[in-house]
Structure 1
Amino acid sequence: MGGTYNEIMIEGPFSFEKTFRRHHRTTDTLKPMVIDQDENRFIKWIHLGDKPYLLDATVEHHENGVSIVTDTKKEDKKEVQTIKEYLSRMFGEGNSLVDFYDAFRGNEKIEMLISDFQGMRVLSNPDLFEVMVDTIIGQQINLTFAATLKERFIRFAGDIKPLNGVDLYLFPRPEAVAELEYEQLRELSFSQRKSEYIIDFARNVVNGKIDTEQLWTRSNEEIIKELIPFRGIGRWTIECLMLFGLNRPDVLPAADIGLRNAVRSIYKLDLQPQTEEIRMLAEKENWTPWESYITFYMWQYLNTASKQKKS
């Protein structure tokens, strides 16, 4: 790579294949990134300030971990720092898998998950506006329809940038969504309420009532308290934002059906546990501060078990 060399360091272990196995909702005709497993490389369009930027990064293994290396081709130190911060947020640089794994030595169930998914990090999307809109789109509908709605939304209000035969997308900015009318989303098969929630959220970001950048400095409880008053944003939606956007390690989406199903399977329970039972289990086994990672590993366990049944 030529240009300005830039990298962040991630403490090992790290599995590129497992980390990039699960990423954000897509369809067969629209993707958030190009992933090259052979070269441990990923390419995606991001918003760098007000401009689109093609992020091209490679994961290089070292004795004690990995480095995420980019060729920024930027002379502007602020832009270089912005890219570095984006990568740090995306990979949850401060979340140590070594600490996570050490914390659960002797816990048979969690050790089984760690053994199965060794080196899998929670890979987040630092574009908090996209994560929130994506989560609102997915509320109370199946994954397939949610992916279809997201693609329609992006093709209508965002930007498509083909690369190597793949349609990559650049998600719409809040300013563009704020100018939409509810009926325009209704014409894309969005419900009236979902149309209102998405456009109203964008307008609240644009008018300053919601400052997504400030959320990075808030505690989990402060974020919940700040966002819960807005229509269409419930606790589960905020938990998804903290997990898939802010990359917080200590989020427990106890009401999530996937997590409850995974717990039932792993702990061989007769019935699906209720939300409060998930919280009691997490407290009993002292999941804090790794609830997000345990949840994520359990989701992957459920996903893998489902694929094995089909094959």
Structure 2
Amino acid sequence: MNRVVTNIFPEAPYDFELTVGYHTYYRSRYGTDYWEDDKYRRLLEIDNKLLLASVRSTGTVEQPELEMVIEGTSLSPYDVTRAKSQIEWILGTSQDLRQFYESIFDDDPLNNFCQSFYGLHLPHTLSAYEALILAVLGQQISTNVAHSIRTLIIEKYGSIAKYNGMDYYAFPKPISLAKASLEDLRLLKMSYRKAEYINGISQIITDQPDLLEFEEYHDNNEIVSKIMQLRGVGRWTAQWLLIKGLGRMDAFPVGDLALKQMLTKLYFDQTPLKEVEMETFSKRWSPWRSYATTYLFAANRQGLI
């Protein structure tokens, strides 16, 4: 077993604790992501090797620095570089928040939340496929139920490795869920239709692994239209894919019920909103609507809304 230590220097301001806490829903374990003893851990699958990345903060919000320990068998420089790149992506270390903060300075509710969660970066899923499957799993159910199903599907179909006496899981590969029977997926507490969606999407991605890869020049609306051609994927799911899986900075999930409730309470004195009204209102935060969404949800999860 090899062990390599390297460092990551995020774009300031960067609050490691806030970012990881938001990513894990403030739980010690959320699916493939672990947050204990001030360390974030994630099992990475690189060229069929299962590597454990452990990250802790050694800097400050204004001068951030992360220490990353990579453990695995026969670690190569390529493995270390790939692992570092993946963790940087998951933890959103390259994001520059300054323009966003400046743009919402006169927006009292949102600016207040930005002060409360100063340095919170937008974390991502490791892959667009992971974001898509998790968004489908989360359709029309509570966060707690989604968390339960998420854990079950990861432990059933994800790769597993033991480090320091503890089991860690990687997110399932498309082929694993493509081969799963609908009956077996139903045993994981999901509906038959949702099992069909998960299985069908996984079959398509197995056959077309580049389907969820997009370049910077691809417009958000173009991506949403393409993704919505997949059975089981609506606009809400596609918008969350933009935010969590593709790292697009100007996405806004107008169909999200919790987000609608937040907006009506903060800005519209509880007056009900239509989706088109949400979309129009959200343009005040463009081109940083993904950040605005993140900070609203961060405040909501902490009971500030």
- Matches of 1:96 and 1:273, distance apart in 2: 31
- Matches of 2:118 and 2:102, distance apart in 1: 13
Contact 1:31/1:166 (8 A) holds in 2? no
| Partner residue, 1:92 | 92
| Partner residue, 1:106 | 106
| Partner residue, 1:57 | 55
| Partner residue, 1:257 | 257
Q: Which deviates more, 70-79 or 101-110?
A: 70-79
For residues 127-173 of structure 1, the C-alpha deviation after alignment (integer angstroms, 9 at most, x for no partner) is 32222111111111222222222222223222444666765322211
- Matches of 2:66 and 2:33, distance apart in 1: 16
1:87–1:152: structure 2 CA closer, same or farther, 3 Å change rule? closer
| Partner residue, 2:195 | 195
For residues 183-231 of structure 1, the C-alpha deviation after alignment (integer angstroms, 9 at most, x for no partner) is 221233322211111111111111116533x236544233213211110
Contact 1:109/1:266 (8 A) holds in 2? yes
- Matches of 2:202 and 2:220, distance apart in 1: 22
Q: Match for 1:183: what amino acid?
A: E
Contact 1:110/1:294 (8 A) holds in 2? yes
* Offset at residue 46 of structure 1 (A): 1.8
Contact 2:250/2:287 (8 A) holds in 1? yes
Does residue 226 of structure 2 align to residue 241 of structure 1? no
The 5 Å alignment of 1:206-225 reads 206-208=206-208, 210-212=210-212, 214-215=213-214, 217=216, 218-225=218-225
- Matches of 1:63 and 1:185, distance apart in 2: 42
1:243–1:166: structure 2 CA closer, same or farther, 3 Å change rule? farther
- Matches of 2:92 and 2:98, distance apart in 1: 13
The 5 Å alignment of 1:120-139 reads 120-139=120-139
- Matches of 1:31 and 1:194, distance apart in 2: 19
Paired residues, number: 301
Q: Match for 1:136: what amino acid?
A: V
| Partner residue, 1:289 | 287
- Matches of 2:24 and 2:117, distance apart in 1: 18
- Matches of 2:298 and 2:27, distance apart in 1: 19
Contact 1:12/1:66 (8 A) holds in 2? yes
1:219–1:165: structure 2 CA closer, same or farther, 3 Å change rule? farther
Q: Which deviates more, 50-59 or 18-27?
A: 18-27
Q: Which deviates more, 240-249 or 268-277?
A: 268-277
SS in structure 1 of the partner of residue 285 of structure 2: coil
1:8–1:246: structure 2 CA closer, same or farther, 3 Å change rule? farther
| Partner residue, 2:297 | 299
Q: Which deviates more, 180-189 or 117-126?
A: 180-189
Contact 2:124/2:245 (8 A) holds in 1? yes
- Matches of 2:131 and 2:99, distance apart in 1: 27
Q: Match for 2:116: what amino acid?
A: D
User: Which ranges of structure 1 fall in alignment gaps of 5 or more residues?
Assistant: none
1:238–1:206: structure 2 CA closer, same or farther, 3 Å change rule? same
Q: What's the TM-score once normalised by structure 1's chain length?
A: 0.85
Q: Match for 1:13: what amino acid?
A: P
SS in structure 1 of the partner of residue 53 of structure 2: strand
**How well do the aligned residues superpose, as a CA RMSD in angstroms?**
2.9
The 5 Å alignment of 1:32-51 reads 32-36=32-36, 38=38, 41-51=39-49
Contact 2:14/2:62 (8 A) holds in 1? no
Contact 2:15/2:61 (8 A) holds in 1? no
1:28–1:257: structure 2 CA closer, same or farther, 3 Å change rule? same
* Offset at residue 278 of structure 1 (A): 1.6
For residues 231-269 of structure 1, the C-alpha deviation after alignment (integer angstroms, 9 at most, x for no partner) is 011111111112122222211112211111111222251
| Partner residue, 1:269 | 269
